[in-house]
Amino acid sequence: MKMENGSSSNDVLQKDTRKSEARNNKNPNEAGTNKDIKPKSILKNKLDKKQKQIQPQVVFVENPNAVSTTSFLKNGIKLSYLLNQFVKDCGGKEALVGLTTTDVCNQFVLPITKESKLSYCDLILEKAKFNLDCRLETVVSTSTVFVSHAWQCNFLDVLDVLEHHFEKEPDVIIWFDVLCHNQHVPIVMSDELWATTFQDSIRQIGRTVLVMVHWANPIPYRRTWCIFESYCTYITEANFEIAMSATECRSFIEECKFAPTGVIKKMANIVDTEQTKAFKREDELRIHSILSNEVGVQENSQGEIGLQILLGSLYFNEGCFDKAEPLYIDCLSKSKALLGPNHANTLTSMNNLAGLYKKQGKYGAAEPLAKACLTKSGVILGAHHSDTLRYMSNLAELYKCQGKYTRAASLYKACFLKSETIFGHNHPRTLTAMNSLGQMYESQGKYDMAEPLISKCYSENKKVFGTDHPDTLVALNSLAELKKSQGRYEEAEGLYKECLSLHQKVFGLDHPQTLVSMNNLGVLYTRQRKYDKAEPLLTESLSKQEQILGPHLETLTTMNNLATLYRNKGYYDKAEPLIVDSLSRSKRNKGPDHPETLTAINNLAQLYKCQGKYDEAKPIFKHCLSKREAILGQDHPHTLTSMSNLASLYLSLDKLDEAEPLIKGCLSKSEKILGPNHPDTLIRRKHLELLNQFKI
């Protein structure tokens, strides 16, 4: 939350997630050219020839990733159940310490399912069928994610990676072989099963997640099954993701800061299909044969694209946009070449680049990409596909950042209504869309339309997920923001306090989200002029963010907010170095024309005005206004803020002739864009009243 002369701007990063409807509903290549589908056709022909050379045989495998040839990879297990109830069934985490997946299978899964001779998932279905536990009915369902992992990995490490990767999808249904496959039954691995059924199942699921426990020495890249599963993901053009734990992500990005290309090539070089091992020699020979004769890992750039996307996302989340940009551009280029311009994965790469440009303030570059994503997704995946709705929401957010509120509100509303129809009233996607629409109305000053949406979103999240769920905390913070915008500070204070307390409980005292919550409460106290309460919160938040995040966007935001506090208290000697430092960092990290840099420039001019340094403030205000008009447009709320600030300075200088056109023009646009009752509009109306008084 950044304070700027009474106006604020919220920017939400939406994690890129993928669903399986693309492959279930429509072939993504249907709208492409012959060139788009030719590589796949060639590989299919090669695979058909290879099938004739392979004779059927019985193979007993510990990790076959299959139930039968008729229901291959169909039923998966809810991740939240795996992380909680299954761990309890094994005796808690203490009982799993030091065990691999193989150990867990032998010591727990096989004994638990010994009497029934079923898979763990099928055993759950049997219990639900006989009404032994009605809660089990939703635990096992159709898989939407295929999880590929090496059984030699530490089992608790694997769970940690899955929990981190699916942080915003806790109830996702995953195919997790040790629980979903019947470990008591051998399987006939026929030609059809190897070459067709397995790949068809991967295609239908549409999303493969490779668990990477130790990125520097990744066991999955040394296991034949994991290589084969990655190959099947490639050949079927399913989405491919690499999952790491939070700790491994931090380690990975530290190593990549100085030599990202080298790290990617190091990991890619580990993939030696001739040295990978499987549990059974028969599996090993069969998989090696297919890999070496069909594409070979050298031709399979999906894995490298996946690594680049991961690294780019890490840089993105760290605020290192200049390092993320070449990776995202390269990913998009490779996806177009490998899969075609209309493939769902190509759209994902395009969406990532558009999101990066938005964060960089390069709205002109972001908008055509975001529009193309939405248009192509509507044609290829369908107007009601979950990815199409995500692209719609992202374009709405981009419009909002540009101050194109009418367009943004229209898209947000459409996204919310479609989400209700597709997912239902209480689905997480619907609640997120509801919250976004409410925030849009809040930005427009339409509080009577915003409040019922944001309030309902919070109550529904609390009902569906519970008080401590991250989505509930997001909704709670949104409600607090609304109350603050309405000037209902006492109500906002109680909500912000609750939000901070829950963040400390759920995430810990030093988690970045906790520090943001601490900053938000500090900003409210500043608004209330409770400076003695605000200062320790903002000071502690800034200190920890500097230590944990470094020169991150959130750090610069808190720095500006603390500077605003000092400015309001009249501590100009404390405010100025913070603003200058923030401006310097923003110029260095984001560039001189980035919207956040212009905010820092505006704040410096505002400080000079408060100090009575009008001659220094005036050229800075004019520069900021000129830049915002050129970059954001003449009707953007931030441009109106600059116009209002310059007009206010002219009033202070008693230059009424120069102030009048600015005040009248700013008020007219505010009434049209923000609405007659928006707080900024009311302030500008007071400026006009002052002008008229001075002219008397």
pLDDT digits (tens, 9 = 90+) for 36-73: 333 333 333 433 433 333 332 222 233 333 333 334 55
Domain that holds residue 208: 55-257
| Residue with more model confidence, 8 or 346 | 346
Total domain count, the chain: 1
pLDDT-based confidence at residue 398 (cuts at 50, 70, 90): very high
pLDDT-based confidence at residue 15 (cuts at 50, 70, 90): very low
Residue of 114, 284, 228, 259 lying closest to 182 (CA atoms): 114
Instruction: Report the range of poorest mean pLDDT among 92-101, 132-141, 332-341, 607-616.
Output: 132-141
pLDDT-based confidence at residue 254 (cuts at 50, 70, 90): low
Could you tell me if 223 and 280 are in contact, meaning their C-beta atoms sit under 8 angstroms apart? Answer: no
In this predicted structure, the answer to whether residue 291 has a pLDDT above a threshold of 90 is: no
Out of 39-53, 284-298, 376-390, the most confident range is 376-390
**d(C-alpha 433, C-alpha 389), whole Å:** 9
| Residue with more model confidence, 111 or 344 | 111
Q: Is 18 left (phi over 0), alpha (psi -120 to 50) or beta?
A: beta
Structure token digits, residue 157: 């490490």
Position 307 scores a pLDDT of: 58
Could you tell me if 481 and 475 are in contact, meaning their C-beta atoms sit under 8 angstroms apart? Answer: no
What phi and psi values does residue 572 have, to the nearest 5 degrees? -65, -30
The reply to whether 71 falls in a domain is yes
DSSP string, 611-654: TT-HHHHHHHHHHHHHHHHHHT-TTSHHHHHHHHHHHHHHHHTT
Instruction: Report the range of poorest mean pLDDT among 7-16, 322-331, 646-655.
Output: 7-16
pLDDT digits (tens, 9 = 90+) for 639-695: 999 999 999 999 999 999 999 999 999 999 999 888 888 888 999 999 999 999 988
Helices and strands, number each (H, E), in the chain = 36, 8
Instruction: Report the range of poorest mean pLDDT among 30-39, 332-341, 573-582.
Output: 30-39
Position 73 scores a pLDDT of: 57
In this predicted structure, the answer to whether residue 92 has a pLDDT above a threshold of 50 is: yes
In this predicted structure, the answer to whether residue 29 has a pLDDT above a threshold of 60 is: no
The reply to whether 15 falls in a domain is no
DSSP label at residue 29: G
In this predicted structure, the answer to whether residue 316 has a pLDDT above a threshold of 90 is: no
What phi and psi values does residue 653 have, to the nearest 5 degrees? -85, 0
**d(C-alpha 63, C-alpha 219), whole Å:** 15
pLDDT-based confidence at residue 197 (cuts at 50, 70, 90): low
Could you tell me if 430 and 439 are in contact, meaning their C-beta atoms sit under 8 angstroms apart? Answer: no
Structure token digits, residue 623: 């520069």
Position 338 scores a pLDDT of: 85
If you average pLDDT over residues 396-414, what whole number do you get? 92
Could you tell me if 607 and 4 are in contact, meaning their C-beta atoms sit under 8 angstroms apart? Answer: no
CB neighbour class for 329 (10 Å; exposed up to 12, middle 13-18, buried from 19): middle
The reply to whether 127 falls in a domain is yes
Structure token digits, residue 526: 């500043």
Position 411 scores a pLDDT of: 97
- Measuring CA to CA, how many Å separate 314 from each of 256, 298, 323, 332, 552? 10, 25, 10, 17, 13
| Residue with more model confidence, 436 or 248 | 436
The reply to whether 105 falls in a domain is yes
Could you tell me if 642 and 602 are in contact, meaning their C-beta atoms sit under 8 angstroms apart? Answer: yes
If you average pLDDT over residues 450-458, what whole number do you get? 96
Which amino acid would we find at residue 257?
A: K
Position 694 scores a pLDDT of: 87
Structure token digits, residue 21: 């409807």
Which amino acid would we find at residue 271?
A: V
The reply to whether 241 falls in a domain is yes
If you average pLDDT over residues 3-24, what whole number do you get? 33
Position 271 scores a pLDDT of: 38
Calculate what percentage of the chain has a pLDDT beyond 90: 39
Position 231 scores a pLDDT of: 56
pLDDT-based confidence at residue 237 (cuts at 50, 70, 90): low
What average pLDDT does the chain have?
77
Calculate what percentage of the chain has a pLDDT beyond 70: 73
Position 11 scores a pLDDT of: 29
| Residue with more model confidence, 396 or 213 | 396
Q: Are strands 187-189 and 207-211 parallel, antiparallel or unpaired?
A: unpaired
Measured at the alpha carbon of residue 414, what is the angle toward residues 410 and 419, in degrees to the nearest 5?
150
The reply to whether 457 falls in a domain is no
The reply to whether 333 falls in a domain is no
If you average pLDDT over residues 546-557, what whole number do you get? 82
| Residue with more model confidence, 450 or 307 | 450
If you average pLDDT over residues 530-559, what whole number do you get? 90
The residue with tokens 């001189």 is: 592
pLDDT-based confidence at residue 387 (cuts at 50, 70, 90): confident
- Measuring CA to CA, how many Å separate 168 from each of 175, 337, 429, 451, 474? 18, 31, 10, 25, 12
Position 423 scores a pLDDT of: 85
If you average pLDDT over residues 595-600, what whole number do you get? 88
pLDDT-based confidence at residue 288 (cuts at 50, 70, 90): very low
Position 214 scores a pLDDT of: 59
In this predicted structure, the answer to whether residue 6 has a pLDDT above a threshold of 70 is: no
Position 143 scores a pLDDT of: 85
Could you tell me if 648 and 689 are in contact, meaning their C-beta atoms sit under 8 angstroms apart? Answer: no
If you average pLDDT over residues 419-442, what whole number do you get? 91
**d(C-alpha 683, C-alpha 666), whole Å:** 11
In this predicted structure, the answer to whether residue 207 has a pLDDT above a threshold of 90 is: no
In this predicted structure, the answer to whether residue 455 has a pLDDT above a threshold of 90 is: yes
Residue of 430, 471, 470 lying closest to 453 (CA atoms): 430
pLDDT digits (tens, 9 = 90+) for 152-196: 788 998 998 899 888 888 888 998 988 988 888 755 444 445 445
Instruction: Report the range of poorest mean pLDDT among 282-286, 523-527, 601-605.
Output: 282-286
